[in-house]
Structure 1
Amino acid sequence: MTTPSIDTAPDGRRQRSERSKQAIIEAMLDMIGEGTLIPTAQQVSERAGVGIRSVFRHFEDMESIFVMADEARRSRYEDIFLGGDRKGTLEQRILHAVEQRAKGYEIYGNVMLTTLAQRWRFTTLRKNYERYQRGLRKDLHDWLPELEKLDDSACEAVHGIASFEFWNRLRDHQGLSKKTAIGVVVNMLNGLLGLK
């Protein structure tokens, strides 16, 4: 039987520590994805299979978990929202843009609801929300450069209709299917952009 050398023992501890840290982040994201929009540190520790002390040994507070979670998942969020076929007529691009956003809203809706529910508590979530809103606005102009020709009021209406908040109202509050909600948003955008 060999005894770990002085050099390898710290590496093993670091690896275990990193695994625990990742388990905590994944546990919180999994819980949010399943609908626990405001998970507590105790719930996260139980889900991750670590002690509550371990959570706060790795993270100063819940906000710092959100910081790491955003860093871990940001590229996934952006891949969904910034993807899609951007060619074709205005009518085709409106449909594709709405379908792409619907895809992102359906996958990450609970993450957005968590952000909206807790942004008053955590500066990180407030800043993340503002950053993503700016990104979504810029991205919609990339899909639809025709927005530049609209007056300010019509342009703001387009952004409101294309928002997660409006999507969530259609899907959750009004109980519309995904397909029907896409149709509502597309029809409204077509109207604002002079197609109907």
Structure 2
Amino acid sequence: MAKTNLAKMAQPQTRSTDGRRQRSDESRRRIVDAMLEFAREGDAQPSAEAVAERAGVGRRTVFRLFNDMESLYREMHAVMLVRIEDIKAIPVKGDTAEERLQWIIERRVRLYEEIMPIKAAADTQRWHSPFLQAAHEQTVQLLRQMLQFLLPKDVKDDADKFEALDAALSLDTWRRLRKDQKLSVKNARRVWEK
């Protein structure tokens, strides 16, 4: 009988613990979403109060769930990786180098438009964050590897051509076309297609 009572007493606590865990996970998600929204709006360093208000949580909750910025950056990065999976999965088609390059451009335009505001915000903090620095280096390497995999052998094997194409199709170049030169997506893409 004592065992039965102990088992019954333990069940509600487990449920309430699970409920707290679910609420905590939901609050974390809302905080990360709020930070990503601020980044998209160009605010790389919103106040804890602003994040809490947008996420619909208390200021103390923000600090309790994310006691350092590195953990928040990690979660934001993980969310962005999930969001771009569909873009990364777009197959590159074409038999000729020109056809394949058009598909590479299509993928990069979609990818860069999705990540550009987040990456711009992250870059303002990159020099203060080992995680963001490592994530940046991994992103650069991944984009280079993807380009190398998709290009025809004669372009890959010519180091100068490859480096020129990698630089021309970089996020930095896309950001310059879109933000500094104020080109629309359509016009910036047309520049790349030349």
Q: Shorter-normalised TM-score: what interval?
A: 0.7 to 0.9
Residue of structure 2 in register with 1:190 after alignment:
none
User: What SS is found at the alignment partner of 1:7?
Assistant: helix
What is the rounded CA distance, in whole Å, between the counterparts of 1:16 and 1:177 in structure 2? 41
**Contact in 2 for aligned 1:31/1:39 (Cα 8 Å):** yes
**1:95 to 2:94 alignment:** no
Q: How many residues align?
A: 184
CA-CA distance at 1:34 after TM superposition: 2.9
Q: Which structure has the greater CA radius of gyration?
A: 2
TM-score (norm. length: structure 2): 0.86
**1:182 to 2:183 alignment:** no
CA-CA distance at 1:82 after TM superposition: 4.8
**1:5 to 2:17 alignment:** no
Residue of structure 2 in register with 1:58 after alignment:
65
User: What SS is found at the alignment partner of 1:85?
Assistant: coil
**1:14 to 2:33 alignment:** no
What is the rounded CA distance, in whole Å, between the counterparts of 2:164 and 2:150 in structure 1? 16
Residue of structure 2 in register with 1:145 after alignment:
152
Identity %: 36
**Contact in 1 for aligned 2:27/2:57 (Cα 8 Å):** yes
Select which of 130, 133, 140 maps to 2:140: 133
CA-CA distance at 1:168 after TM superposition: 0.9
Code of the residue aligned with 1:180 in structure 2: it is N
**Contact in 1 for aligned 2:42/2:117 (Cα 8 Å):** yes
**Cα deviation 1:80-108 (Å, max 9, x = unaligned):** 24524333311111111112101111122
Farther off after superposition, 131-140 or 11-20: 11-20
Residue of structure 2 in register with 1:163 after alignment:
170
**Cα deviation 1:53-106 (Å, max 9, x = unaligned):** 111111121221111121233132243245243333111111111121011111
TM-score (norm. length: structure 1): 0.85
User: What SS is found at the alignment partner of 2:12?
Assistant: coil
Residue ranges of structure 1 left out of the alignment (5+ in a row): 188-196
Aligned residue runs from structure 1 range 65-84, under 5 A: 65-84=72-91
Farther off after superposition, 6-15 or 123-132: 6-15
Query: Quick check: which one's helix share is greater?
Result: 2
